[in-house]
């Protein structure tokens, strides 16, 4: 009989101004609370300077007492969060392209996503049969005949019903207003092809083909108020050459997009990503 799996550890996320002795003080608090450090990662961002630390701990503890002592031991501006290994509650937004949504639905079905997909929202009905096949509620919120503000209000009504921790844009092809984005600061995740900003507008892979590019890539990032300019979470590329048609490049792009999006979600949901100004500190 195989041994029982150990429970996944909790993790601490700490951000504060850097100064001598921080790791000594933090680990001392953890020791006094009888906790074992399973893994520890730290980094000092030179501009500031700012100290970042992610620590996985095992053992029984009183959360409020632990956090209170940690905050007392750190500089007044310190941010201290305690994370747990539970799946995150998310809503996925999509339009017509299925590849990213399909990847997330399959991973969700086999408990490989680190999240519960509460629902899928789309401004087109096309992906409804795919979504419901996986037992996930599908909401068709059409934009036809509505202003952007009216359509976003209808989408927000669905999101407010589910109260997701994160919203994932799985090739959702509409620009979101600052008013929509604001309530989901650092909780709204998007995927796009890495040809941006070199090949903007319609048919980016056709443009890439005409230029004879040698790599196709994808970028997952948090959404902010500037189009595709939010803090980057994950990126990857795959090689292409002169034998690839525009359609081949588009397929290669879809392949890399779905993998990069899934990887970015794993990083975020496991508490490995700090947003710092307009970039990220990531402990993999």
Cα–Cα distance list, 197 to 28, 38, 218 (Å): 47, 41, 12
């710092």: which residue's tokens? 276
CA angle 132, 221, 211 (to 5 degrees): 100
What is the Cα gyration radius of the chain?
Answer: 21
Catalytic residues: 228
Say if residues 79 and 49 touch (Cβ distance below 8 Å): no
Distance in angstroms between the alpha carbons of the first and the last residue of the chain: 32
Of the candidates 245, 232, 242, the one whose C-alpha atom is nearest the C-alpha of residue 278 is 232
């392949």: which residue's tokens? 255
Distance CA 235, CA 135 (A): 30
Do you know the residue count of the chain?
284
Neighbours of 205 (CB within 10 A): 24
Phi and psi at 256, nearest 5°, equal -75, -30
Burial profile 10-37: b = 16 or more Cβ within 10 angstroms, e = fewer? bbbbbbbebeeebeeebeebbeebebeb
Phi and psi at 232, nearest 5°, equal -80, 135
């Amino acid at each position: 009989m195989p041994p029982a799996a150990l429970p996944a550890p909790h993790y601490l996320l700490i951000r504060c101004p850097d100064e001598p002795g921080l790791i000594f003080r933090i680990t001392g608090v953890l020791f006094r609370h009888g906790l074992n450090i399973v893994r520890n990662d730290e980094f000092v961002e030179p501009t500031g300077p700012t100290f970042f630390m992610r620590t996985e701990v095992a053992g029984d503890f009183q959360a409020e007492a632990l956090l209170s002592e940690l905050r007392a031991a750190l500089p007044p501006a310190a941010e201290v969060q305690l994370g747990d290994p539970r799946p995150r509650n998310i809503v996925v937004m999509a339009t017509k392209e299925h590849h990213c949504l399909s990847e997330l639905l399959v991973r969700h079905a086999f408990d490989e996503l680190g999240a519960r997909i509460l629902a899928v929202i789309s401004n087109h009905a096309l992906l409804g049969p795919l979504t419901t096949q996986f037992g996930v509620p599908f909401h068709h919120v059409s934009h036809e005949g509505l202003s952007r503000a009216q359509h976003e209000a209808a989408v927000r009504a669905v999101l407010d019903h589910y109260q997701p921790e994160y919203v994932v844009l799985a090739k959702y092809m509409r620009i979101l207003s600052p008013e929509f984005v604001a309530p989901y600061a650092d909780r709204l995740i998007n995927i796009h092809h890495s040809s941006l900003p070199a090949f903007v507008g319609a048919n980016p892979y056709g443009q890439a083909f005409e230029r004879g590019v040698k790599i196709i890539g994808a970028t997952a990032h948090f959404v902010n108020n500037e189009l595709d300019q939010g803090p980057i979470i994950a990126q990857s590329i795959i090689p292409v050459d002169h034998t690839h048609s525009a359609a081949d490049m588009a397929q290669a792009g879809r392949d890399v997009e779905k993998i990069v999006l899934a990887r970015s979600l794993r990083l975020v949901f496991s508490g490995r990503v700090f947003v710092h100004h307009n970039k990220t500190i990531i402990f993999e």
